[in-house]
Copies of this chain bind each other. A is one copy, B any other.
Amino acid sequence: MLTHQTEVLVRFNEADPLGIVWHGHYIRYFEDGREGFGKRYGISYLDFYKNGLAVPIVSVHCDYKKPLRYGQSVIVETTYIDSHAAKLKFDYKIFQGNSKELVAVGTTTQVFVDVKNFQLQLTVPDFFMDWKKEVGFAK
């Protein structure tokens, strides 16, 4: 299992009038987690870009377990979920930084498209297949 933990600070302006982080910001925390993962394992947006690919999100899901408050930090645990499909799937667990309580879980699915014309890639691109081999998910 390939996983990475990224720490994210909750900004004052991310909490709403109830004092809790607005639910939409968790989608950004997922992206921060995915970015941290991508930098750590060599598949950031820029790595895809250099290989002529963009990886738009086609599905996102988030379940909220506990409220997050301003002044807290969060740890985003991002896990790559391997499959044979021409897709890129990550699971996320968001923990409150101090108490380590689980505050949210989620999933994103991305597809591979040609960065020039947004043409959907129906098979796993070579660049990504190479990456899968490197990290031990393909031979």
Q: Which of B20, B46, B54, B64 contacts A71 (CB 8 A)?
A: B46
* A12 and B45 form a contact (CB under 8 A): yes
Bound-state Cα–Cα, A28 to B26, Å: 12
With a CB–CB cut-off of 8 A, which chain B residues contact A18?
Answer: 17, 54, 56, 115
Copies of this protein chain in the complex = 4
Q: Which of B13, B27, B54 contacts A31 (CB 8 A)?
A: B13
For chain A, residues 10 to 28, give those with C-beta under 8 angstroms from any C-beta of chain B. Answer: 11-13, 15-20, 22-24, 27-28
Bound-state Cα–Cα, A73 to B71, Å: 23
- Answer yes or no: A67 CB below 8 A from chain B CBs: yes
With a CB–CB cut-off of 8 A, which chain B residues contact A24?
Answer: 13, 24, 27-28, 31
- Answer yes or no: A57 CB below 8 A from chain B CBs: yes
- Answer yes or no: A91 CB below 8 A from chain B CBs: no
* B58 and A63 form a contact (CB under 8 A): yes
- Answer yes or no: A59 CB below 8 A from chain B CBs: yes
- 4 A-B pairs with least C-beta separation: A24-B27, A23-B57, A13-B22, A17-B19
